[in-house]
A and B are shown apart, each in its own frame.
Chain A
């Protein structure tokens, strides 16, 4: 009986131990697989590093030759080496050109890009976050699509698109500019005569519109105590009601008139209050200037910070 039990135990134990060993074996396998993967990655990276080092040396040699005024083409240089040299040069040139392109974008110049499609897609290939615009011409040259990207204080806002028909005279075929915007009258004035001026004026006006709209949003968001009494689609007028801080808080009505639709600052600001002494005070004269010289939300925040309004 005992021997039977022993055998049984051995059997079970043995089986268990065998199972355990098997598991460890798989773990080991797993470990070694991971090792292999890491090893392979290390090898790849090593190769890349070495290639880069070699390339860096090539570039340094190139620079050396240039500085010393030596000819860059070596007659006895190996063909490979020469191709690599040219590759470095072209890469350097490309980098400089890309830098220039970026610089142009940052300063607000638009980038014309020729579309390689038969029909036109209003898609900006080089996103312009500077409040500029992109013009995509269709391959057949019959139409062009202009995307106006607006931005204010570094934040990108709406994008408006205008499709131009270039067949006989330049005309606008489609657009998604808001109806309140005087697009037709602007087009009538300059589109036919000077496309560049038209696009620049349109870009400026759309940008200013987006900026004015954004100011209204921001002031609602940041200065909750100020109430927007009146506004319109074009944001050409803004009437705000503020509460002036005094012994008895008084309501002050600020009317901002944006006479120049190409600007995001008002051309006229008037302050009205039942208390004439308050509205004529030097403090409110200063507030009036603030509203004329800085964006609405910034001015109001300053006024609140100075304790002028609540």
Chain B
């Protein structure tokens, strides 16, 4: 019967349309992934162009694109996480279920990351269930040396959100450390040195008059498996053996503890400043290590 023929044709056409739409989506995505920069340049000129009829036909699209770009910029600015690369692959899409694979690359301040994950969303009555089913994380940067336990844990529990929340907090603490270290190196270039750079956890204070003695500050930023970020500072004093004999005030032994008390009372910046002053002020040091200057 004619009807049946039509029905068959309709079904076939619907499937064709679905396939074509999916194909087009994939091609468009791939264009952007591979040639995004060039296209953005071309399109920026399109958007700025003051055409007549052309602009009319595309004005809605152009406005939409502009809005999206603006929102994304603000989102990045406010959240501190910039995404440079975003690859989305839709594995399954039906009325109630969506399965996608995403590959993201970006940075949070100077911390680089690459995250690959799979997410399944199921619409169930009035609740939307979203589950991350796979998660792979790669982080790059000198700061991350104590981060790997946390990353492994988060990959196991597939807690994507916890990873990014923690990354942000961790990045903030790293920035604080970097700024503080850099500030002191600039202010007291003769006394303060950062042998592993301003992004590391080491700062060494040495008095030019007493080169054998050094104070090393370890500013560690620990990340627990549950994503709790805890900075902690420690002081290590180095004194040549001969000088230790004269350490009547037991500065070597008590120094680290003294530093902890200082931290509690004055906070990080003031404590470090105080240490540096002690080191720069040769007289106070000399009082303690009177004979050392002769030995060294």
Asked whether A91 lies within 8 Å of B61 as measured between CB atoms, the reply is: yes
Chain B minimum-CB-distance residue to A58: B24
Q: Is A17 on the interface with B (CB-CB < 8 A)?
A: no
- A151 — which chain B residues lie within 8 A by C-beta? 130
- A260 — which chain B residues lie within 8 A by C-beta? 228
Asked whether A34 lies within 8 Å of B42 as measured between CB atoms, the reply is: no
A35 CB → nearest B CB, Å = 5
A64 CB → nearest B CB, Å = 10
Given contacts A97-B65, A154-B130, contact A49 B17 (CB under 8 A): yes
Asked whether A98 lies within 8 Å of B10 as measured between CB atoms, the reply is: no
Asked whether B42 lies within 8 Å of A45 as measured between CB atoms, the reply is: no
Contact with A along B265-292 (1 / 0, CB 8 A): 0000000000000000000000000000
Q: Which of A52, A82, A102, A112 contacts B88 (CB 8 A)?
A: A102
Asked whether B39 lies within 8 Å of A45 as measured between CB atoms, the reply is: no
Asked whether A99 lies within 8 Å of B86 as measured between CB atoms, the reply is: yes
Q: What is the interface size of chain A, counting residues whose CB is below 8 A from a CB of the partner? A: 66
Asked whether A45 lies within 8 Å of B75 as measured between CB atoms, the reply is: no
CA distance A67 to B20 in the complex (A): 21
Q: Which of A53, A62, A83, A111 contacts B71 (CB 8 A)?
A: A111
A110 CB → nearest B CB, Å = 7
Q: Which of B7, B57, B161 contacts A107 (CB 8 A)?
A: B161
- B78 — which chain A residues lie within 8 A by C-beta? 109-110, 112, 196
Q: Which of A98, A106, A108, A111 contacts B102 (CB 8 A)?
A: A106
- A66 — which chain B residues lie within 8 A by C-beta? 31, 35, 38-39
B209 CB → nearest A CB, Å = 41
Asked whether A92 lies within 8 Å of B29 as measured between CB atoms, the reply is: yes
- B32 — which chain A residues lie within 8 A by C-beta? 92-93, 95-96
A40 CB → nearest B CB, Å = 9
Q: Is A177 on the interface with B (CB-CB < 8 A)?
A: no
Asked whether A86 lies within 8 Å of B65 as measured between CB atoms, the reply is: no
Q: Is A48 on the interface with B (CB-CB < 8 A)?
A: yes
Contact with B along A30-41 (1 / 0, CB 8 A): 010011001101
- B119 — which chain A residues lie within 8 A by C-beta? 106
Q: Is A24 on the interface with B (CB-CB < 8 A)?
A: no
B283 CB → nearest A CB, Å = 40
- A48 — which chain B residues lie within 8 A by C-beta? 13, 17
Given contacts A31-B3, A154-B129, contact A89 B71 (CB under 8 A): no
Q: Is B191 on the interface with A (CB-CB < 8 A)?
A: no
Asked whether A63 lies within 8 Å of B71 as measured between CB atoms, the reply is: no
Contact with B along A76-93 (1 / 0, CB 8 A): 000100110011111111
CA distance A108 to B132 in the complex (A): 13
Q: Is B64 on the interface with A (CB-CB < 8 A)?
A: yes
Asked whether A100 lies within 8 Å of B20 as measured between CB atoms, the reply is: no
Asked whether B128 lies within 8 Å of A129 as measured between CB atoms, the reply is: yes
Q: Is B183 on the interface with A (CB-CB < 8 A)?
A: no
B window 26-52: CB within 8 A of A: 27-33, 35-36, 38-40, 42-43, 46
Given contacts A91-B28, A92-B39, contact A108 B161 (CB under 8 A): yes
Given contacts A155-B127, A260-B228, contact A90 B46 (CB under 8 A): yes
- B176 — which chain A residues lie within 8 A by C-beta? none
Asked whether B31 lies within 8 Å of A62 as measured between CB atoms, the reply is: yes
Given contacts A56-B20, A154-B129, A204-B165, contact A96 B75 (CB under 8 A): no
Asked whether A100 lies within 8 Å of B83 as measured between CB atoms, the reply is: yes
Q: Is A130 on the interface with B (CB-CB < 8 A)?
A: yes
Given contacts A103-B104, A106-B119, A130-B161, contact A95 B68 (CB under 8 A): no
CA distance A217 to B78 in the complex (A): 34
- B130 — which chain A residues lie within 8 A by C-beta? 129-130, 151, 154
Asked whether B10 lies within 8 Å of A60 as measured between CB atoms, the reply is: no
Q: Is A55 on the interface with B (CB-CB < 8 A)?
A: yes
Asked whether B6 lies within 8 Å of A52 as measured between CB atoms, the reply is: no
Contact with B along A141-178 (1 / 0, CB 8 A): 00000000001001110000000000000000000000
- Top 3 A-B residue pairs of the complex, sorted by shortest distance between their CB atoms: A38-B6, A92-B28, A109-B79
Question: Which A residues fall within an 8 A CB radius of B?
Answer: 31, 34-35, 38-39, 41-42, 45-46, 48-49, 52-53, 55-56, 59-60, 62-63, 66-67, 72, 79, 82-83, 86-104, 106-113, 129-131, 151, 154-156, 196, 200, 204, 260, 263, 265, 293
Question: Which B residues fall within an 8 A CB radius of A?
Answer: 2-3, 6-7, 9-10, 13-14, 16-17, 20-21, 23-25, 27-33, 35-36, 38-40, 42-43, 46, 53-54, 57-58, 61-62, 64-65, 68-69, 71-72, 74-76, 78-79, 81, 83, 86, 88, 102, 104, 115, 119, 127-132, 160-161, 164-165, 168, 226, 228
Jot down 30 A-B pairs with beta carbons below 8 A, ordered by A: A35-B2, A45-B17, A49-B20, A52-B21, A56-B23, A63-B31, A79-B54, A83-B57, A86-B46, A87-B58, A89-B43, A90-B43, A92-B28, A92-B32, A95-B28, A97-B68, A97-B72, A98-B68, A101-B68, A101-B72, A103-B88, A104-B76, A107-B104, A109-B81, A112-B71, A112-B74, A154-B131, A200-B168, A204-B165, A260-B228
Knowing that A48-B17, A107-B115 touch, tell me 4 more A-B residue pairs with CB under 8 angstroms. Answer: A42-B10, A94-B64, A104-B83, A110-B78
